Amino acid sequence: MSASNELQALIYNRLTTNAGVTAIVGTRVYDNPIGKDVFPYISFGPSDVVEDDADCVTGRIETVQIDCWSRYQGGFREVKDLADAVKKALHRYAGALTVNALVEMTVESIRYFRDPDGQTSHGVVTVQAIVEEH
């Protein structure tokens, strides 16, 4: 399994078992949310990898975008609660990978905005993981 797929599986498992996150979305965490009309939910957005090799160690810094979606009629409240729950679940989470090694995971930023449809609130949580590849 690629380090990227292994990291995504770790994040998915954390989000679908964390009480703070599941209290808001249940297990509605998707890699491909096409056709998902039940709000709120979480989806995986784009990711990128930068090599981070050191002496005798192959490593990577992977940045993963986690998208939070809500159609709560009272504004940003629900999407902000959801993004904050995602941050609490993932920031400094020391989960174990099966093949590779997670060195550190941090939440680097959170953004909130209204989508062009005028009814969907969108939160973007940027997660950065340092992974030692084996």
Dump pLDDT digits (tens) for 57-77.
999 999 999 999 999 999 999
> How far apart, in whole angstroms, are the C-alpha atoms of residue 21 and residue 125?
13
Torsion angle (degrees, nearest 10) of CA 124, 30, 90, 9: -140
**Cβ-count burial of 130 within 10 angstroms (0-12 exposed, 13-18 middle, 19+ buried)?**
middle
Fold classification of 3-133 (topology level): STM4215-like (3.30.2000)
pTM confidence score? 0.96
Q: What strand order describes the sheet that includes 58-70?
A: 29-30, 41-51, 58-70, 121-133, 101-114
Q: Which of 26, 24, 29 is nearest to 12 (CA)?
A: 29
pLDDT above 90 (res 13): yes
